[in-house]
Amino acid sequence: MGKRKATRLLVAGALLAAGVTASAVGSADAANARSVATVQSCYGSAHTDYFYRRDSGGNAFYPDQGSYLTTTSACGDININPWVSYSFTVCFKATGSCNGWHYAPANQWTVIASQVLDGTKFYVQAKTTTDEPVAELAY
């Protein structure tokens, strides 16, 4: 094989390899952009909610006692962004149980229940007996 032909094959191979790499990077960038768009869409649907203290003196909760929120297709998780740091738990109507406490720092989105099906009825409790907790919820 001539020197010229060998050089062309090496250049073609390099270009092909670069093209594969570029498309792989492009796919990763596209997936990341979709992920960011999903998160923005989820948080863009957030509601600012005020928690209430139970009459029995228990933990603060949202929504009103005996009421439930319903998950939507906007988010795959239940997320909270509290104005003050608290621990939160999500309680589900279908099972009558809660998923455990999750600490959520102030002014930061935190997932407090993950991979929740659309149409799931739930309420949220804050580990405090005051009726001060205010938080954004995205679900």
Mean pLDDT by groups of 10 residues along the chain of 139 residues: 46 44 46 48 75 68 86 89 91 95 95 95 86 77
pLDDT of the residue at 11 = 43
- Render the burial of 60-87: b for 16+ CB within 10 Å, e for the rest: bbbbeeeeebebeeebbbbbbbbeeebb
pLDDT in the model for residue 99: 95
CA-nearest of 126, 127, 124 to 139 is 124
DSSP assignment of 13-43, as one string? HHHHHHHHHHHHHHHHHHHHHHHHHHHHHHH
* Terminal-residue alpha carbon distance, the chain: 64
Q: Starting from the edge strand earliest in sequence, which strands make up the sheet with 78-82, in order?
A: 47-50, 134-138, 78-82, 110-113
In this prediction, residue 132 carries a pLDDT of 65
